Amino acid sequence: MSPLRRSAGLFTSSVVRVMVLVVVCGAAIAADKPVQDPSVGPAAPSIYPQVHLQQPSRGYRTAPLAVSAAEARAREMIEAALQKRCEDALDFSDMPLRDVVSSLGETWNLPIRIDRKSLDEAGIDPETSITNVAVKGETLRGVLQAVLDDIDLTWIVAGERLVITTKEVAGGALITRLYPLPFGTAKQPVDFQPVIDAIVNTIGSPAAWADQGGDGQIRPAEGGEPMLVVSQTEELHAEVEALLRGMHDRALAEFLDDAGQPRRTPVVRIHRCADKKTRDELVASLAGLCNAALAADGDPAAKVTALGQHIVVQSSKADFQALAGQVVAATVGVRPLPSSGLGEAGFSGQGNAGFGIRNVAVPQPNPQPGNANEAGQGAGAGPAAAGAGPAAAGAGPAAAGAGQAQARAPAPAAAPPAPAPPIYPQVHLQHPSRGYRVALLARSEAEARARKAIDAALRKGLDDVPEFNDKPLRDVVRTLENLWGLPIRIDHKSLDEAGIDPETSITAVGAKEETLRSVLQAVLDGIDLTWVVRGERLVITTTEKAAEMLATRLYPLPLGTANPPVDFQSLIDTITNTVGGPSVWADQGGDGQIRPAEGGEPLLVILQTEAIHGEIEALLRGMHERALAEFLDATGQPRRTPVVRMYRCTDKNVRDELVAKLADLCNASLAGDGDPAAKVGALAENLVVQSATADFHALAAQIVAATVGVQPRQPRPTGNFCGGMGGGSFVGTPHPVPQEATEGQGGMGMGSHAP
């Protein structure tokens, strides 16, 4: 026998031995996997006996910490002064900084100090002249921003004084504050993590927080009222408060009418209570308990009734609903809901492998992150990096090896019992027909009013917009201020750095009914400038500077996407893949962030530039209006014929109760926006809801989900790859559909795994 043939025989023999070893090891690994015991039932609900009297209608209040009563009083006075508006005209043009600070202290009756040491170290003279700052009717916070931004200074609260200092010093001056959880997120069991994730991913840069190498810290405080303890700079504290206040106010809006006054029709909340005796006791005593604690803030008209194995609480008062939810949780116990947020990152196998055995992995009830072992075997049933779902699985050919691999069918898995559908007790009164509304975040009530005025002005068209022929930019800005009654500031520092003179001539043609947004675009595009909203003003700045100035906003989910279980990931993928390009989002190396906010009304918290925010709002508003179109006739008016929705409900008793009560429940809450002609019937094991009103269908869908439960979406099946010898590599991809096991060339190979 020739040496070559003898080598080939030895090689083939080695391949066979290794393939047997790989198959045996694979079977052993599979055998070691824990199998869910079908006899084990669901865990008993946990009891959370903490009941804290909440009165969310009194507003969102943070707690600044102070070392003495005198310091506490001083901080309250400083906070009040920062929000106080001065109606007099103030002109600080060409005034030394020292004189400006003295004037501000006298105007607002507040001690303000200049940190001379930090200014000296930064080479900034207190005699530096302030350029072109003239204000009227603005708060101290807004004036300080206008005065200090152009000379790269800021302010902090130190002890009992407001101090003017450099941004470097302010960035290292951390202070600690206590933040209550926004209304709707403090239900038992309290889940701090989604709120913490929303804060650290959308407030400041990631480097501002300790888990990314910064100094900022955020921790939950449990035991009494659930709170967050946050250590951060003064500037970022203002943004944290704006976000949490925005979430709180957004959740409270359900209890207000269009004029912002307390509503008179009830809001519905549904709580699970399987024990009939406990349910009957709560129906009899819950309203009395809550009203006794709330006194004048209670709701004598509140109703508590039973619906299937649930308690239905109807009240128009947020305070009543908050306390009732805690009393029920403390009495009945609650099970944590499955998270619908972002999942844990999975692993994809990567190793040197030849053609090998491919088979389909049966999805496991508790998928684990996949990896690759030293034999080049990739596995892939686990959460993917972008959310709950299958991780990458080894699949695909690598470089050819020698030898014949044997087909191996997947081992049959014991089918676990079908779980009961999860209950989603979140019911939020929705009025989608009133339009899509984005929540602009503000650090104070004055800033909130200013931002609403700016947003309204940007959309407002004027009958006659003048032409600008060779007019200096500075004069154009003053003209626009007067026409739209809006404070507009030029960012002189960024224009100087870009070599753009505020006296640059502008030529633009006005048009009838043109909005301020359109005029600004026509004026600024030709000189590479743009605008942003900063504080209480609209600011003209460079496009480069605007790209660095990220703002956080809250976006409600469009109609049809907020029904339980909410699929945030699908909507997040749509936004990050179609708006602004991948490079503007953090997962592709950009700065933009997007996170779900659960607990109250489902929202998206998004950190992005002003321009990208405009595109996101246009997308979500378009989706919302498209879904609403089904409820309009050809002329855009509300339709008169009903729209049909169907819901699975196999329990006849619950189905009969919903048929009897659902329409009345919805119409009691919606009042003038309800549908007296709506019908609810049964069809086999389904509920049929007929209504011509979008508001009715939106609320009905949530009540059914809270009462009946809904099945979450099933994960896609994934593929497995067992590799052999060769010089190639494999990177896993999920199989869209199961496939039969196939044969392939294989041999001995070495693999590695990479996250």
Nearest CA to 166 out of 182, 144, 187, 151 is that of: 151
And the tokens for 320?
Answer: 């009543």
And the tokens for 274?
Answer: 């399987």
The kind and range of the H/E element at 479 are helix 473-484
How far is Cα 94 from Cα 166, in angstroms, rounded to an integer?
21
Q: What percent of the chain has pLDDT over 70?
A: 75
Of the candidate ranges 5-9, 68-72, 89-93, the one whose mean pLDDT is the lowest: 5-9
How far is Cα 530 from Cα 610, in angstroms, rounded to an integer?
10
How far is Cα 140 from Cα 146, in angstroms, rounded to an integer?
10
Beta strands across the sheet bearing 643-648: 643-648, 686-691, 679-683
- 239: CB partners within 8 A, 6+ apart: 203, 204, 441, 443, 552
CB 361 within 8 A of CB 379: yes
| Domains in the chain: ranges and CATH | 46-255 (3.55.50.30), 259-332 (3.30.1370), 345-420+715-754 (no CATH), 426-631 (3.55.50.30), 635-708 (3.30.1370)
In this prediction, residue 562 carries a pLDDT of 81
Nearest CA to 733 out of 715, 716, 719 is that of: 719
In this prediction, residue 525 carries a pLDDT of 84
616-637: per-residue pLDDT in tens?
Answer: 999 999 999 999 999 998 888 9
Predicted confidence (pLDDT) at residue 738 exceeds the cutoff of 70 = no
For range 608-617, the mean pLDDT: 92
Of the candidate ranges 19-28, 68-77, 293-302, 651-660, the one whose mean pLDDT is the lowest: 19-28
In this prediction, residue 62 carries a pLDDT of 85
413-451: per-residue pLDDT in tens?
Answer: 555 655 666 667 778 888 898 889 888 788 778 888 888
| Total Cβ atoms within 10 A of residue 616 | 22
Please tell me whether residue 304 adopts helix, strand or coil conformation.
strand
β-strand pairing of 63-64 with 129-130? unpaired
How far is Cα 613 from Cα 604, in angstroms, rounded to an integer?
12
Of the candidate ranges 36-40, 269-273, 722-726, the one whose mean pLDDT is the lowest: 722-726
In this prediction, residue 17 carries a pLDDT of 46
Burial class (CB in 10 A: 0-12, 13-18, 19+), 636: exposed
Start-end of H helices in 485-587? 492-497, 516-524, 543-548, 568-578
Q: How confident is the model at residue 180 (pLDDT cuts 50, 70, 90)?
A: very high
Please report, as a single letter, which amino acid is at residue 22: V
DSSP single-letter state for residue 422: P
How far is Cα 279 from Cα 456, in angstroms, rounded to an integer?
49
Looking at per-residue pLDDT, the higher value among 749 and 271 belongs to 271
And the tokens for 592?
Answer: 């933009």
In this prediction, residue 19 carries a pLDDT of 43
In this prediction, residue 53 carries a pLDDT of 85
Q: Read off φ and ψ for residue 384, nearest 5 degrees.
A: -85, 165
Please tell me whether residue 350 adopts helix, strand or coil conformation.
strand
Q: How confident is the model at residue 745 (pLDDT cuts 50, 70, 90)?
A: very low
And the tokens for 434?
Answer: 């009133």
How far is Cα 133 from Cα 125, in angstroms, rounded to an integer?
18
Q: How confident is the model at residue 289 (pLDDT cuts 50, 70, 90)?
A: very high
Beta strands across the sheet bearing 551-556: 439-440, 551-556, 603-608, 593-597
Rounded to a whole number of angstroms, the CA Rg of the chain reads 31
Nearest CA to 61 out of 217, 248, 340 is that of: 248
Burial class (CB in 10 A: 0-12, 13-18, 19+), 462: middle
CB 449 within 8 A of CB 456: no
DSSP single-letter state for residue 510: -
CB 313 within 8 A of CB 302: yes
The kind and range of the H/E element at 469 are strand 468-472
Please report, as a single letter, which amino acid is at residue 383: P
How far is Cα 507 from Cα 57, in angstroms, rounded to an integer?
51
For range 97-119, the mean pLDDT: 93
In this prediction, residue 717 carries a pLDDT of 45
Looking at per-residue pLDDT, the higher value among 680 and 746 belongs to 680
For range 364-390, the mean pLDDT: 38
How far is Cα 325 from Cα 251, in angstroms, rounded to an integer?
15
In 593-737, DSSP assigns E strands to 593-597, 603-608, 643-648, 679-683, 686-691, 718-729
Q: What percent of the chain has pLDDT over 90?
A: 40
End-to-end CA distance of the chain, in Å?
47
- 415: CB partners within 8 A, 6+ apart: none
How far is Cα 391 from Cα 411, in angstroms, rounded to an integer?
20
Please tell me whether residue 323 adopts helix, strand or coil conformation.
helix
Of the candidate ranges 180-189, 284-293, 709-718, the one whose mean pLDDT is the lowest: 709-718
CB 396 within 8 A of CB 731: yes
For range 149-167, the mean pLDDT: 91
Of the candidate ranges 71-75, 156-160, 464-468, 537-541, the one whose mean pLDDT is the lowest: 464-468
SS (HEC) of 34-66: CCCCCCCCCCCCECCCCCCCCCHHHCCCCEECC
How far is Cα 424 from Cα 310, in angstroms, rounded to an integer?
12
How far is Cα 548 from Cα 584, in angstroms, rounded to an integer?
11
For range 677-691, the mean pLDDT: 95
What interhelical angle do 140-148 and 97-108 show, nearest 10? Answer: 180
Q: How confident is the model at residue 752 (pLDDT cuts 50, 70, 90)?
A: very low
In this prediction, residue 512 carries a pLDDT of 67
Please tell me whether residue 643 adopts helix, strand or coil conformation.
strand
- 482: CB partners within 8 A, 6+ apart: none
Burial class (CB in 10 A: 0-12, 13-18, 19+), 67: exposed
Q: Tokens 């779902």 — which residue?
A: 389
Looking at per-residue pLDDT, the higher value among 470 and 656 belongs to 656
CB 218 within 8 A of CB 210: no
For range 103-129, the mean pLDDT: 93
Please report, as a single letter, which amino acid is at residue 424: Y
How far is Cα 491 from Cα 467, in angstroms, rounded to an integer?
24
Ramachandran category for residue 715: left, alpha or beta (phi over 0 → left; psi -120 to 50 → alpha)? beta
158 DSSP β-pair partners: 161
What's the mean per-residue pLDDT of the chain? 78
Ramachandran category for residue 170: left, alpha or beta (phi over 0 → left; psi -120 to 50 → alpha)? alpha
Please tell me whether residue 408 adopts helix, strand or coil conformation.
coil
Predicted confidence (pLDDT) at residue 743 exceeds the cutoff of 90 = no
How far is Cα 692 from Cα 631, in angstroms, rounded to an integer?
6
β-strand pairing of 751-754 with 461-462? unpaired
Please tell me whether residue 72 adopts helix, strand or coil conformation.
helix
- 634: CB partners within 8 A, 6+ apart: none
CB 522 within 8 A of CB 409: no
The kind and range of the H/E element at 439 are strand 439-440
β-strand pairing of 537-542 with 488-490? parallel
- 65: CB partners within 8 A, 6+ apart: 175, 176, 177, 178
Please tell me whether residue 477 adopts helix, strand or coil conformation.
helix
For range 359-377, the mean pLDDT: 39
497-553: per-residue pLDDT in tens?
Answer: 999 999 998 877 666 678 898 889 888 988 989 999 988 889 999 999 998 889 999
